[in-house]
Homo-oligomer: A and B are copies of this chain.
Amino acid sequence: MKSFSIWQRGMVAALAVGVAAIGFPAQATDPHGLEPEESDIVTIETPKPDWFYVRAGWGIDGTAIYDGRSGKMIGIVNSSQLSDMAIDPAGRFYYVSESIWSKGNRGARQDMVTVYDSKTLKLLTEITIPDRILVDERKQNFILSDDGKWGYVYSFSPASAVNVVDLTKRKFVQAIELPGCAALIPNPGVGFSALCSDGTMATVAAPTGKAEITHSAPFFAASDDPIFENFAYDPAKNMAVFLTYTGLVYTAKMGAAPTISQPYSLQEAAGYAPATTKPLSVGWYPGSRQPTAYHAASGELFILMHMGEYWSHKAFGDEIWVLDVASRKVVRRIALKEPAAHIEVSQGADPLIFLNDEKSAGLILDAKTGEEKHRIEMAGAGVISAAPGL
C-alpha cells in the first residue's frame, strides 16, 4: 500500500505545483510510429467555404465542424444547450450566445455571448448580456452586422427585445424593445430587420444608438400562412428570401425601407397547382426544422419538401427542391433515401448540401447532382450552418 500512496502523493504534488506551466510541444511524429510520443494540441484553420457547423441537438452540448469535402470532423465549438452560434464574417471568431445556470438546472442565470478564437477554439472572453430567448433550432435569434462589429441577440422574457452587443469593445450596448416581432434579418448600413406577428417587417435603424423602429405594410399572414424562420439572406444582393408554410416565396430588398416582392408559389414553379391552407388538400409542402438553404452565388434555394396536408410544416423532407429564385423555376428535384430534418448548403463554387435527421445521421450531397459524398454517423441532430462565403 505504501508505494501506491507515495505515487499518489507525488502525483498530487506535481499537479499542484506545475500544471499551469505544462507545455505539450507539437511533434511531427508519425502517428503510427513506435517512438515515445508527447501529447499536443491541434490548431485549425479559419473557416473554409466547405465547412459545416452542426449543433449536437436537443439536450446535448457542442457544435461540430465538418469539412464537407472530406466528411471529417475538424473540431467542436463549445456551445451549451439552447445556445446560438454566429461566425465572425472575417473568420477570426466564433460567437456563442448562451444561457448558463450556476448550478446546472438551478442557481443564478448567466446570459452571455462567449467568444472563441477560430484557430485554437479557445475561449477568449464572455460578454454579459441581460437576457435571451430559450429555444432550439433557430439561426435568426443571433445575427451579426455585415462588418462583424455588432451582434444582435433576440430576447423573449416573455417581452420581445433585441440585445445589441459591441463585438469590438466586447460589451453589451443596449436592449431594444421590439414588441410582436422576431426572426432577425441582416440589414447592412441600416441595422437589422425582423418579421412581425401583424404581417409586417420591422426595421430597426441605428440599433447601436437611437434605435428607430419602422414597419413595412403588412405583407404576409403571420398566423394563417407563416414565413418559416431559418430563412435565407443573400449578402451580395442584400436580399432576404422568405418561404411560407404553403410555399409562397417572397424576396425583400433590404434597406431603410425594405422593398418586398409580390409572392409566387413554389409549387407552381414546379408545375403543380399552388398549395393551399385548406384541410383535405394533399400536395407537396415545405417543412422540417430547417427547411431551406440558399446558395448565394447561384441564387438557388434548396427546400425540404414532403407530401401532406396543411399544418404539416414540421414534417421531415423526402425531396429537395432546388428553386432558381430569380427565374421562379424549380430546376432540380433530389429524392432522399431518408427523411431529413435540416438542410444547409456551402457557399463555395461547387456547393455541397449537408442534411441530418433527429437520429444525428449526417449526409453530404453534391448540390448540383445530388450525388452522395459522405455519410457521417452521429454527426449531430441540430441546426446546421455553413461557413460564410469568405
Contact = CB atoms under 8 A, between A and B. Distances in A.
Contacts of A78: 105
Nearest to A15: B158
Contact of A11 (B9, B12, B61, B158): B158
Dominant secondary structure of chain A at its interface with chain B: mixed
A8 B196 CA distance: 14
Contact of A4 (B12, B157, B197): B197
Contact of A5 (B4, B157, B180): B180
B61 A180 contact: no
Q: Please classify how large the interface on chain A is, using the bins under 10, 10 to 19, 20 to 34, 35 or more.
A: 20 to 34
Contact of A8 (B110, B123, B179): B179
Nearest to A215: B1
A185 to B, nearest CB: 18
A102 B105 contact: no
Interface in A155-203: 157-160, 177, 179-180, 196-198
Given A60-B59, A158-B11, A159-B12, A1 B106 contact: no
Contacts of A104: 61, 80, 100, 104
Interface in A45-81: 59-61, 78, 80
The copy count of this chain in the complex is 2
Given A12-B157, A158-B11, A158-B12, A180 B4 contact: yes
Contacts of A278: none
A32 interface: no
Contact of A179 (B1, B160, B179): B1
A103 B157 CA distance: 21
Contacts of A123: 106
Nearest to A196: B1
A11 B157 CA distance: 10
Given A4-B197, A61-B104, 19 more contacts: A1-B179, A1-B196, A1-B198, A4-B179, A4-B180, A5-B179, A8-B160, A8-B179, A11-B158, A11-B159, A12-B157, A12-B158, A61-B105, A100-B103, A100-B104, A102-B102, A102-B107, A103-B110, A104-B104
17 contacts: A1-B196, A4-B179, A4-B180, A4-B197, A4-B198, A5-B179, A5-B180, A11-B159, A12-B157, A59-B60, A61-B104, A61-B105, A78-B105, A100-B103, A102-B102, A102-B107, A104-B104
